[in-house]
Chains A and B, each alone.
Chain A
Amino acid sequence: MTQTGPFRLSSGGRLIDRAYPLPFRFDGRQLRGLRGDTLASALLANGQMLMGRSFKYHRPRGPIASGAEEPNALLGLGHGGRFEPNQRATTTPLVGGMATTSQNCWPSLTADVGAVNSWLYRFFPAGFYYKTFMWPRGFWKHVFEPVIRRSAGLGKAPTEADPDTYEQAYAHVDLVVVGGGIAGLTAALDAAKSGKSVWVLEQTPHFGGRTPTDHADGQARVDALIAELRAMPNVNLRRNTMATGLYDHGYLLAREALADHDPNAGIPRQRLWRIRAGHVVVASGALERPLSFAGNDVPGVMLASAVRDFIGDYGVAPGRRIVVVTNNDDAYRTALAALDAGLEVPVILDARSSAGGALPEAARARGIRVLTDAAIAGIKGGQSVEAVKLCAHSGSGEVTETIEADCVAMSGGWSPVVHLWSHCGGKLNWSDTQSMFAPDPNRPPTGADGKAMASCVGAASGDLLVADATGAAAESAIMPVWVMPTHATRKMKFKMFLDFQNDVKVSDVELAAQEGYHSVEHTKRYTTLGMATDQGKVSNINGLAVLSGALNQPIPATGTTTFRPPYTPLTLGTIAAEARGELFQPLRKTPMHGWHQAKGAYWEPVGHWRRPYCYPQGAESHAEAVAREIRAVRASVGTLDASTLGKIVVKGPDAGKFLDMMYTGMMSTLPVGKCRYGLICNENGFLIDDGVAARLSEDTWLVHTTTGGADRMHGHFEDWLQCEWWDWQVYTANVTEQWAQIAVVGPKARVLLERLGGMDLSAEALPFMGWAEGEIAGIPARVYRISFSGELSFEVAVPANRGLELWEKLHEAGADLNITPYGTEAMHIMRAEKGFIMIGDETDGTVIPQDLGMSWAISKKKEDYIGKRAQQRSHMTDPDRWKLVGLESLDGRMLPDGVYAVAEGVNGNGQRNVQGRVTSTYISPTLDKPIAMGLVRHGPERMGEVLEFPVAGQESYKARICDPVFYDKEGSRANG
């Protein structure tokens, strides 16, 4: 017959508005749809049935469905940062000016050179990839994988950042109804009348589900329910909101589309609802199944429900002559709808041996030819349906008649949408009479109370007619049809598609069964059945029924694959929501952050903090800036923003006892007014943090932690206090951010602070490792005389709100002293020059204090501390453990960080044995030579020995073992 393609009917279409035409583009062609169209209906109205290509064979594909289950009509949407691949044309509302492109075809949709001719199918059977790419081995890496990678995936990923915004929102609701069809609305009304807070989530822009399309007075029934629900203040009706997953504790995720239709609306494009539901009512309806007959994938072969949706909802005729093929009564509705729209229905092919229900009778009364025990033997046509070949369903496919047609409406029955029910453990029963898996109300997903947290109503529960609410008359029984005709030949099965996107056919599933695949999960992965973007919504039940047939076992013995969220894909944007750009992470800023920024600080991330790494001036490199900062500090005075250091107050009658357990050293004997350096280990003896503790009063200590360790150490303290020593009288508080802390460091540090005035900071009044309280420059301050650089050093803590004030006053008063702000790298180098360890450099979770020569920081008098027992185990006391030493490069090159020193011989893997590694390495501006620290076997006993550090592609580094203290060994500089 002449090809006319689908077209817009002259009347009808309950969802479209003919007064508002919308222009859009498809593969560069300018087309026109109507307000209310989906992309699929708009394309059909323009005669465009061919909308894509299948994944494996690049077969021509038209829409098979009209909703979320659509596997074929997937388009690329938009361009630039707003490009989105794999958008379902059947659920994407048409927007004026939309630009759409077809996928997986080259050079064009109609002439795709990738298309595999049908005679080639047999060379691409189930498991083709597994069978083919095993040999020869080298081919995988160099030939197969690059080719497969290039052809993998249907759509293309966008290459630009998404300009849209997204958000999330939390809700706590007594009862959430998923699905705004008539069953869901009825359930919502019942629940709302009892006073519960009720939300109804409808995935489409319209309430009512199938009822307005399928039942004469359906719209009126839906409208009445909506009117009643809208009047109730405890009811919240949300359209365009897709429930994607149900998780433990009634946690329900749903995506609400806010501005998909208008990128210029200035509001978030989509919102992810994170709902705590007291109970979830699943009213998600049912999905129609295709029939497996030869040629069922030719564009123009569609689900019967989709055909009448396009006619009734959008006023679009998928064809002029529509053949209906079915195993149930429901599909007769499509024939009647087609007649009502003035289209031809040359024949209805009913696989059942008789068709006596009300709907078949109505069809006959309208003069439609109804054939029973009838089936399709094949479809004539490639890119569109030209004619249908008929045969007896109970036969093996001998063609009895050929009928011209341009569209086939097929129905293999309906499957309840049990996804949400199943996501969280709800079980299913197979119904032989209805040929479907339906939720078993006796095995629901359960909540914390052991009771059902979800229930199903309407078609989702297996009640396909929902007669109570729709008033539908009873229908006669379905007959299961998994292969059409019953005794189809092998050749026919090669053309019976189960998974239309992945090109999985009846022959593939039967082959898998023949090769020993009995588990439905294994068969799925072997054949890729149900692994397309629709995740088996169209193919799952048909596939497992075919598998059951091939294995000669009942369907429930095969079972279903696992239903996993999301029901339909979520955009990454909704998952990230506000967490992008400036708000990607909470960035922690000290009170002096702005000053550092203004001075051009180069930032180093430390946890969520940003700390100045250095302050480059002009064209200075970072290394040059660091060297300048160090020289200035050692020569005169510098300031370091130490506000990020953890500060934890520990107070109570048992605080001393507690700190003696937390630290390896003795804190209880520290006099008031003094500071002491301490180490914290975990139960396994490994060093996890260090810092200076100050005793503030008889029962109060303030302990400093590393910047990254503040929250962790506070948690560590509270863990022991709350879980082990709950009867000890100790309170802790993390006051890290209460204080701005400034290290004033260098030989001129005291001079500078004295200029600001307010406190006696002389060596007599404030000796090394002492602290004092007072005022500096009129600002209340606590001054700790501690040094991490080896220089005379005062750490001044002031209330955070006055930190910047003090910092600026210091820089004002120290201008003539060449006062220099210095960053973390200068701090690191200065501590390394002094041989001080750094948590995270010298420690890596496997290092104990004894390895670092820090036995002096471990109390011998104490009965116990956290880590003590572990440090007495044989491996920890092993004299062969690697110990801390200094390393002096022999040729003036800086040792690379982390390199290993080799020993004699090789290990079991043929690698060189090792005897040590570099933990810290720098060029010291003070000494003008490279310095390093490392852990070396028997290191402290091997002073002067030379170690070799091989590095790939370079001459080995050589370094002499030395004392780790490179600078001011006698420690006199700390006294100023």
Chain B
Amino acid sequence: MAEALARISQIDDLGMIQIRADLGRAGDAIAEAAGLALPGQGRVTTDGSRILGWMSPDELLLVLPRAEAAQALAALQDALSTEHALVLDVSDMRAAFRIQGDKALHVLMKLCPADLASMPQDGLRRTRAAQAACGIWREPGGYVLIGFRSVADYLRGLLQGAALPGSQLDPR
């Protein structure tokens, strides 16, 4: 049996904090509280453990080890207490998957209409996987895909199906 195009695994220990604010005004305060530089449009910044991702002109997503989420939430809420801002723990409403392997991109190309091949190394792309919304960024050896927790089974089924051994997208 040939190997799957990529190894698909679910990540259970990610914390996620949604930040909405005027990034021009509050950017410095967010960066300091998050411990990461503010990402540019469609990008992420990372220190290897935490990732700060650009979600929209007034929204960021801080991804970090779950154990650090409560503290980071408090720090961000504190840092933005004088701003019009919304900081929420959204760790529980997400499902995250790791897509690892040489052909990881092929798996995503079967599901996502976005041009992920040309996504920059530090890119973050909000797109869809078949019929479900998702977000995607790179990590060494592959990608991370996040979606809503209620459709975790659907997303897992999609990813595993798309990784079917022998179904690589190379010309044959």
Contacts and interface: CB of A to CB of B under 8 A. Distances in A.
Interface of B: 18, 20, 58, 84-86, 88-94, 106, 109-115, 117-118, 130-132, 148-155, 157-158, 161-162, 164-167, 169, 171-172
A737 B150 contact: yes
A905 to B, nearest CB: 50
B68 to A, nearest CB: 16
B171 A236 contact: yes
Contacts of A579: 130-131
A236 B91 CA distance: 41
Contacts of A738: 88-93
Nearest to A235: B171
B109 A171 contact: yes
Contacts of B20: 731, 733
Interface in A606-664: 608-609, 649, 651-653
B88 A649 contact: yes
Contact of B162 (A578, A591, A649): A578
A553 B99 CA distance: 64
Interface stretch (A92-100, A266-274, A371-379, A476-484): A266-274
Given A738-B89, A738-B93, A170 B153 contact: no
B88 A609 contact: no
Given A586-B131, A651-B86, A800 B113 contact: no
Given A578-B161, A731-B86, A738-B89, A586 B172 contact: no
A587 interface: yes
A167 interface: yes
Contacts of B84: 652-653, 729, 731
Nearest to A581: B157
A729 B112 CA distance: 34
Nearest to A241: B171
Contacts of B58: 731
A582 interface: yes
Given A169-B109, A276-B115, A733-B20, A258 B92 contact: no
Q: Interface size class for chain A?
A: 35 or more
B161 to A, nearest CB: 5
A855 interface: no
Given A172-B118, A731-B84, A609 B109 contact: no
B90 A735 contact: yes
A737 B91 CA distance: 10
B158 A583 contact: yes
A737 B92 contact: yes
Contact of B93 (A237, A582, A583, A737): A737
A686 interface: no
B147 to A, nearest CB: 9
A239 B131 CA distance: 29
Contacts of B169: 169
Given A583-B161, A799-B92, A168 B110 contact: yes
A731 B115 CA distance: 30
A170 B112 contact: yes
A585 interface: yes
A733 B158 contact: no
Contact of A587 (B85, B92, B154): B154
Nearest to B2: A266
22 contacts: A165-B164, A167-B110, A167-B161, A167-B162, A168-B110, A172-B115, A578-B130, A578-B162, A579-B131, A583-B158, A586-B131, A587-B153, A587-B154, A589-B153, A652-B84, A652-B86, A733-B20, A733-B90, A735-B90, A737-B93, A737-B149, A799-B92
Contacts of A172: 115, 117-118
A800 B93 contact: yes
Contacts of A609: 150
Nearest to A650: B86
Interface string A903-928: 00000000000000000000000000
Contacts of B153: 587, 589
A267 B109 contact: no
A266 B88 contact: no
A238 interface: yes
A590 interface: yes
Interface in A715-742: 729, 731, 733, 735-739
A274 B113 contact: yes
Interface in A789-821: 799-801
Given A268-B167, A609-B150, A738-B91, 17 more contacts: A165-B164, A167-B161, A167-B162, A172-B115, A266-B165, A266-B166, A267-B164, A586-B131, A587-B151, A588-B148, A608-B151, A651-B86, A652-B86, A731-B86, A738-B90, A799-B92, A801-B91
A265 interface: yes
Contacts of A800: 92-93, 149
Contacts of B109: 169-171
A653 B82 CA distance: 11
Interface in A725-771: 729, 731, 733, 735-739
Interface string A65-104: 0000000000000000000000000000000000000000
Nearest to A802: B92
A254 to B, nearest CB: 12
Given A171-B109, A268-B164, A578-B162, A737 B148 contact: yes
B112 to A, nearest CB: 7
Nearest to B86: A731
A112 to B, nearest CB: 41
Given A172-B115, A578-B130, A653-B84, A588 B166 contact: no
A583 B154 contact: yes
Contacts of B118: 172
A238 B171 contact: yes
Q: Select the residue from B106, B118, B132, B149 with max chain A CB neighbours within 10 A.
A: B149
A583 B111 CA distance: 12
Given A266-B165, A731-B86, A799-B92, A588 B150 contact: yes
Q: Select the residue from B106, B112, B162 with max chain A CB neighbours within 10 A.
A: B162
Nearest to B95: A737
Given A586-B154, A737-B148, A267 B92 contact: no
Contacts of B93: 735-738, 800
Q: Select the residue from A171, A578, A735 with max chain B CB neighbours within 10 A.
A: A578
Interface in A158-176: 165, 167-172
Interface in A233-278: 236-239, 258, 265-268, 274, 276
Contacts of B158: 578, 583
Contacts of B148: 588, 737
A307 B150 CA distance: 60
B150 to A, nearest CB: 4
Contacts of B112: 170
A589 B171 contact: no
Nearest to B166: A267
Q: Select the residue from A171, A579, A583, A739 with max chain B CB neighbours within 10 A.
A: A583
A579 B130 CA distance: 8
A589 B110 contact: no
Closest 8 CB pairs of A and B: A737-B93, A588-B150, A800-B92, A731-B86, A738-B93, A172-B115, A586-B154, A586-B151
B167 A167 contact: yes
Given A583-B161, A801-B92, A170 B150 contact: no
A237 B150 contact: no
Given A583-B161, A733-B20, A169 B150 contact: no
Nearest to A583: B157
B171 A265 contact: no
Given A236-B171, A578-B161, A590-B150, A170 B90 contact: no
Contact of A649 (B86, B111, B157, B164): B86
A80 to B, nearest CB: 23
Contacts of B151: 586-589, 608
A238 B170 CA distance: 9
A578 B163 CA distance: 12
A733 B106 CA distance: 33
Interface in A389-413: none
Nearest to A736: B93
